[in-house]
Amino acid sequence: MKSVLLCLLLSIPIAAFSQSSINPIDSSRTTFTIFLKDGGEYVGRIIARDAIKVVVRRKGGGLSYLAPSDITRIEPYQGRIRTQGRGQQQITLTDGTVYRGQIEKQDSTMVLLRRRGGQSILSPKEIAKIEPIVGVKNKEQPASVVTMPVSSTGSEDNQFPWLLYNQTAIPLKAGQLTYRNIGILYNELSYGFFGFITLRASITPSYSGSDFYNSTIYTRPSVGGKVSIPIGKNVHIGGDLSFRWSERPQFGGYFPDPRSLRERNLSGFITFGITRSNLTLGYSDLRLVSSMIRRQSISIGFVAPIGRRLSLISDNRILVGQNSYNNDYFSQMSGVLRLNRPRHAFDLGMLMAIRDEDKLRLYPLPYVAFNMRLSRR
């Protein structure tokens, strides 16, 4: 009982302080510089202030809500900032935060700024502008504004226009060269032309022969091309044609003999969204050239960002018609996490192969892939 009374007595001055400080202060004619513990600064007018927040109307017109525990001091804005040394920079973030110091390192993934109180690591995506500061009689003011360039290599969102095994209708950018590896065995190079054509070639090791000496490891080649056409804002339609030689190919010159051609796959799809977030609906018609076997399927896949560097990808195929299950073809469901980096990405997840022509059978398979952009674009 005594402890309860003691808590109540202690809460009275705290509540009184909070009530007395919750009223907005009149600062319509006063501009302040608010210094934060992490080295950031806000310049603007304080329109409200209480025990849990400080509301600042920034010079750009937006509002910022700051925690009092993050603030080191508040001073009237002087228009000029007194600093020491040369090579000082003023970095303004998109949310209005201002950092001042000397840039020690700057690349496509980060900006390392040395300040008087320590170091700050900033993301290029968060930077609105960088202003060099020049000295004027021991006082310094920002010189001409240098806009921070947006670097495509600094992006940590998904940047590859494919799902798992299937494509999307989004093309590779003109001049982009990419490589991807699926399950160690599948290797593919893709190149973008004119911003709407994507060509690719792949090889997959195959094994044949009845004994050790007659067995050889050879590469099963595949080539394909995709045409993508934008039909609206963030909407593309596309068509894809690919050929694969799954029997031992005979080469005439530099290309496989057409007589060893095994599969021809024609696909059409529509994609809503961009590479970092999209939904793709498709239809595929695969034929074995040497027989009447045919596989028709519809597909649905999506890419969804679930974090700064993480995307969830699902690539699903449903076979259409009883004949599509011939030759060991499967429907599939999948869920994969893609860890995005500035120039590459890693895929790790599960693919579920499904057979249901006579009875439902599920075959869970791991899915591991590596994606990489080889060009600078």
Write the pLDDT tens digit of every residue in 320-334: 877 766 666 788 899
Record: fold of 154-373: Porin (2.40.160)
**pLDDT at residue 349 above 90?**
yes
Rounded mean pLDDT of the chain? 76
pLDDT at 350: 93
Pairing verdict, β 71-76 and 177-182: unpaired
**pLDDT at residue 319 above 60?**
yes
Could you tell me how far CA 234 lies from the centroid of its own chain? 16
**pLDDT at residue 184 above 80?**
yes
pLDDT at 91: 83
pLDDT band at 353 (very low <50, low <70, confident <90, very high): confident
Work out the average pLDDT over 154-166. 80
pLDDT band at 83 (very low <50, low <70, confident <90, very high): very low
Please write the tens of the pLDDT for every residue from 41-51. Answer: 788 888 888 87
Please write the tens of the pLDDT for every residue from 259-276. Answer: 556 788 899 999 999 888
Question: CA-CA distances (angstroms) from residue 258 to 170, 244, 247, 289?
Answer: 30, 10, 11, 10
**CATH code, 27-152:** 2.30.30.100
How far apart are the C-alpha atoms of 98 and 76, rounded to whole Å?
Answer: 16
**pLDDT at residue 174 above 50?**
yes
Task: Give the tokens for residue 167.
Answer: 């494509």
pLDDT at 109: 76
Are the C-beta atoms of 48 and 71 separated by less than 8 Å?
Answer: no
**pLDDT at residue 339 above 90?**
yes
Work out the average pLDDT over 218-243. 90
pLDDT band at 93 (very low <50, low <70, confident <90, very high): confident
Residues 6+ apart with CB under 8 A from 317: 166, 284, 297, 298, 299, 331, 332
Q: For 165-179, 202-216, 272-286, 324-338, which range has the lowest pLDDT when averaged over its residues?
A: 202-216
Select the more confidently predicted residue: 149 or 289. Answer: 289
How far apart are the C-alpha atoms of 41 and 34, rounded to whole Å?
Answer: 5
Select the more confidently predicted residue: 269 or 208. Answer: 269
Could you state, in order of their start, the residue ranges of all structural domains in the chain? 27-152, 154-373
Work out the average pLDDT over 141-148. 44
Closest CA to 262 of 291, 283, 233: 291
| Residue spans of alpha helices (H) in the chain | 2-21
Select the more confidently predicted residue: 72 or 318. Answer: 318
Pairing verdict, β 88-93 and 127-136: antiparallel
What is residue 15's three-state secondary structure?
helix
Are the C-beta atoms of 95 and 110 separated by less than 8 Å?
Answer: no
Percentage of the chain modeled with pLDDT above 90: 26
Kindly tell me the burial class for residue 196, based on how many C-beta atoms sit within 10 Å of its own C-beta (0-12, 13-18, 19 or more). middle
pLDDT band at 134 (very low <50, low <70, confident <90, very high): low
